[in-house]
Amino acid sequence: MSHADDHDHDHDHAFSELSDVALRVRALETVLAEKGLIDPAALDVIVDTYETRVGPRNGARVVARAWSDPAFKARLLADGAKAVAELGYGGRGGEHIAVVENTASTHNMVVCTLCSCYPWPVLGLPPVWYKSAPYRSRAVIDPRGVLADFGVTLPEDVEIRVWDSTSEMRYLVLPMRPAGTEGWSEERLADLVTRDSMIGVALATAPGETA
Amino acid sequence: MNGAQDLGGMMGFGPVVAEQNEPVFHGRWESRVLANVIATQALGWWSGDASRFARESLDPRFYLTRSYYEIWFAALEKILDQHRLVASDEIAAGRSLREARKPERVFEAAGAAAALRRGWPSERDTNTQPLFAVGQQVRAKNMHPTTHTRLPRYARGRVGVVETIRGCHVFPDSNAHARGPDPQWVYNVRFTARELWGPNADARHSVSIDAFEPYLEPA
């Protein structure tokens, strides 16, 4: 990675401050490596894992499988981590996973008010808004208002269940399967499953809607 | 501790704004912060719970005005200093100025992918029985420890119902402070919004938390 990479994307923020942080991070990594406390190549593996290998496509495949295979869905709801391992997913940040199912009468939404707990093996690293004060403060007291921020309005008689997660148990929402998808392959179904629908701030994309 | 991290129920932060086509990392430095946190934690000298406490015990004015990875980095600097591994003059100099304790093993590239794939499960075997049963009413204790806890303030003193027993897990309140894993039963407890937020709250809204047994008492 070149020096210039440190400044990518930073221009929208306080440039000098963030470049200072970037320099300090680089300095710390150098010191840690000189002291034999880290293997920089191992750090590359960590970054590559979460930048290119693990992300919400994993969760989308899990959801598509659950929509297609009732026995898998039953196993998924019984023990999330064990079931997603069938598709090869698991590990750090998802050692124990609970899956909560949306229905016509119940909508689930996941938050971590105390930090940023999130099911890494199926969704990857959380987006900035999930870790931000607006979401963490409001999801538990005003979930309908948060849904409105995402352009989602649910009927008043739909019950909203908010799951305030901790590190030990991470949550994945199983969104409702959109109507008009009968007979679709798992691969095609997975394209309808957005990250936000698996956090519970959106619905799965309807056929014909732009994802 | 009652730090700035305990945000549930606070008001005034404005709407949730999602970034379109958000990259996983906003600049390389963010990715290196994450990786350094994971790799140094894997030395085994402190836990993820200790890292979390290092973040939430930052000055609330700092915590509420910095980006996520700035918070992570500040906490990493603090924890490395506390463990006498890296001091601030070394970060300023950009090089090691003194010897540090030698690790038994470092987090190495060869085993890194497999280690991430295995993860660090928190569930532990136990010969104890859970104190509370599914369906039982419990009250979250009114407690305000100055140390690490995972019981959010908004639930303290409130009555909910045990819906699921999650198993016995390493207790963050103890583990964060190097007092050992002290595994405890974890219960998923559901609170109605009216119990948490008062009679004007939405009747069709509830909040569930995963609470360690020492957070709860019979109600």
Give the pLDDT confidence score for residue A208 in this predicted structure. Answer: 86
* CA distance to partner chain A, nearest, from residue B134 (Å): 16
Of the candidates B11, B25, B116, which has its C-beta nearest A92's C-beta?
B116
Of the candidates B13, B29, B70, which has its C-beta nearest A134's C-beta?
B13
- The mean of the pLDDT values for chain B is 97
Q: Measured between alpha carbons, how far is residue B59 from residues A119, B66, B70, B143, B145 in Å?
A: 28, 11, 13, 21, 17
Beta-carbon separation of B123 and A168 below 8 A: yes
Neighbours of B197 (CB within 10 A): 19
Helix extents (H) in chain A: 15-34, 40-48, 56-68, 70-78, 80-85, 120-123, 128-131, 133-138, 143-149, 186-190, 195-199
Q: In chain B, which among 127-146 make CB contacts under 8 A with chain A?
A: none
Beta-carbon separation of A35 and B49 below 8 A: no
CB proximity B123 to A under 8 Å:
yes
pLDDT digits (tens, 9 = 90+) for B174-210: 999 999 999 999 999 999 999 999 999 999 999 999 9
Give the pLDDT confidence score for residue A16 in this predicted structure. Answer: 52
Beta-carbon separation of B204 and A43 below 8 A: no
* CA distance to partner chain B, nearest, from residue A171 (Å): 11
A112 a catalytic residue: yes
Q: Which residue has the higher pLDDT, A14 or A126?
A: A126
Task: Find out whether A132 and A118 touch, Cβ atoms under 8 Å.
Answer: no
* CA distance to partner chain B, nearest, from residue A160 (Å): 5
Q: Which residue has the higher pLDDT, A4 or A127?
A: A127
Tokens of B37: 């946190």
* Residue A144 three-state SS: helix
A185 a catalytic residue: no
pLDDT digits (tens, 9 = 90+) for B16-63: 999 999 999 999 999 999 999 999 999 999 999 999 999 999 999 999
pLDDT at A18 over 70: no
- Residue of chain A minimizing CA distance to B187: A169
pLDDT at A3 over 90: no
pLDDT > 90 fraction of chain B, expressed in percent and rounded: 100
Distance separating alpha carbons of residues A123 and A192, to the nearest angstrom: 15
Q: What is the ipTM of this complex?
A: 0.97
Of the candidates A8, A96, A143, which has its C-beta nearest B123's C-beta?
A96
pLDDT > 70 fraction of chain A, expressed in percent and rounded: 91
CA dihedral (B4, B9, B10, B13) positive or negative: positive
A117 a catalytic residue: yes
Tokens of A109: 């939404």
CB proximity A68 to B under 8 Å:
no
